[in-house]
């Protein structure tokens, strides 16, 4: 079976790590800071990188720093992994969901603008920020998003867990947010051999605070002074070491993913593929397309019969979970459609170009009747 995700496991990295850790520490190792600095350099970041234990923790740190006792509501998409909403709720904050664009699966900025324009003043006063999820490595018009955020004095948080390496107007999308987060979870495009994450912060003060919050609220050297209420979310040195090794080859991975994307867009005749802003150069983490609701089951079974995994990743809207319900209802018809028809196919690094071409050929040979 060709699966959507393949867990990376490189013996060479383990051999290298075995030697390296004769001279570095498992926690607070030198390689952790080196990773933060190298990511800033490689992605040409104008924001400061603070490693932590997961993408979820990175969101937790962002929301903890952004917290305002008078403004408790965050706007986000209903179509995402649970963490982009559950962390908000976990901190006793509230959510308003805005539907996704009908051309793709990302937060619809026109709907967002209309919502804010017509929003009841009492609610509007309570909205603190927007969590924009860059799903499958793609993103919406970040210039427009920034304008909206500025107009309404809202914090911009980028859930870039899936979009490490994605560019908008030739620069990393991580640069566009007040806080952006990535996940190094093993299925992600840039992944560790366990949990890992990073938060990127625009303001120097917030960055310093994040470094302390993720270290139980104290500085590395002075363990007696608790400066903020924090928790332990340090990135293991081992994970940092693995990521440093993988970073060297990241450009090649992006190039391969782009080849897959070009084959995909030039040869997919059978199904509608999502449409995006022309200033986007996405990392092509996951490739998706729409299969009509009435034939989607048949199509997925057909692919399974051909030994190719194919699935709808988000089958349920976040607000369909009782505990993730919003503070006020909104229309989510486009997002609902995605949960019924947006399928994903394998395009990971271990698939050869020949095999990927064959996957597309098999898709095109599908007969719905
Ligand atoms: C969109 C999104 N947000 C948040 C997360 C949470 O990341 P992590 O699993 O590293 O906590 C993930 C990854 O699983 C994700 O895909």
pLDDT single digits (tens) 18-53: 999 999 999 999 999 999 999 999 999 999 999 999
Structurally, what CATH architecture does the domain formed by 11-247 represent?
Answer: 3-Layer(aba) Sandwich (3.40)
Could you tell me what percent of the chain has a pLDDT over 70?
A: 100
CB of 162 sitting under 6 A from ligand 1: yes
66: Cβ–Cβ under 8 A, 6 or more apart, which residues?
128, 129, 155, 157, 178, 179
Check the CA dihedral 53-247-82-132 and report its sign.
Answer: positive
CB of 197 sitting under 6 A from ligand 1: yes
Using a 10 angstrom Cβ sphere, with 0-12 exposed, 13-18 middle and 19 or more buried, the burial of residue 126 is middle
Domain edges within the chain: 11-247, 250-364
Distance 199 CA to ligand 1 centre (A): 12
- 250-364: which CATH topology? 3.90.1150
- What value does the mean pLDDT take over residues 61-80? 98
Q: Which of 83, 132, 186, 189 to mutate to test the pocket of ligand 1 (most atoms within 8 A of CB)?
A: 83
CB of 163 sitting under 6 A from ligand 1: no
Listed in sequence order, the DSSP H helices in the chain are 11-20, 30-42, 55-66, 83-90, 109-118, 121-124, 142-151, 204-213, 237-247, 250-267, 296-305, 333-341, 353-364
- What value does the mean pLDDT take over residues 111-130? 98
pTM score of the predicted model? 0.98
Assign 368 a pLDDT band (cuts: 50, 70, 90).
Answer: confident
pLDDT for the residue numbered 308:
98
Q: Which of 76, 81, 105, 173 to mutate to test the pocket of ligand 1 (most atoms within 8 A of CB)?
A: 81
């Amino acid at each position: 079976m060709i699966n959507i995700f393949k867990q990376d496991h490189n013996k060479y990295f383990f051999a290298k790590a075995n030697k390296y850790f004769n001279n570095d520490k498992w926690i607070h190792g030198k390689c952790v800071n080196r990773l933060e600095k190298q990511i800033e350099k490689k992605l040409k970041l104008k924001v400061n990188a603070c490693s932590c234990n997961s993408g979820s923790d990175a969101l937790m740190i962002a929301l903890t720093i952004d917290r305002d006792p008078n403004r408790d509501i965050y706007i986000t998409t209903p179509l995402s992994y649970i963490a982009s909403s559950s962390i908000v709720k976990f901190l006793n904050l509230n959510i308003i969901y805005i539907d996704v664009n009908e051309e793709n699966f990302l937060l619809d900025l026109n709907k967002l603008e209309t919502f804010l324009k017509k929003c009841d003043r009492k609610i509007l006063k309570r909205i603190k920020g927007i969590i924009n999820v860059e799903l499958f490595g793609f993103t919406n018009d970040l210039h427009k998003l920034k304008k909206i955020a500025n107009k309404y004095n809202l914090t911009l948080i980028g859930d870039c867990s899936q979009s490490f390496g994605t560019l908008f107007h030739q620069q990393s999308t991580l640069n566009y947010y007040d806080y952006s987060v990535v996940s190094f979870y093993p299925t992600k495009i840039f992944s560790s051999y366990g949990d890992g994450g990073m938060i990127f912060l625009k303001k120097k003060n917030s960055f310093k605070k994040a470094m302390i919050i993720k270290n139980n609220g104290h500085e590395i050297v002075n363990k007696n002074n608790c400066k903020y209420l924090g928790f332990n979310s340090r990135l293991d040195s081992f994970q940092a070491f693995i990521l440093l090794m993988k970073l060297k080859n990241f450009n090649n991975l992006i190039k391969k993913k782009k080849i897959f994307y070009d084959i995909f867009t030039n040869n997919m005749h059978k199904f509608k593929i999502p449409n995006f802003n022309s200033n986007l150069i996405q990392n092509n983490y996951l490739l998706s397309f729409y299969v009509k609701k009435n034939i989607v089951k048949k199509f997925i079974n057909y692919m399974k019969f051909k030994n190719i995994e194919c699935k709808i990743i988000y089958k349920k809207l976040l607000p369909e979970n009782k505990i993730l319900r919003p503070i006020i209802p909104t229309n989510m018809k486009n997002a609902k459609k995605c949960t019924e028809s947006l399928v994903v196919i394998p395009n990971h690094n271990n698939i050869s170009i020949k095999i990927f071409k064959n996957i597309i050929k098999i898709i095109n040979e599908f007969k719905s009747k």
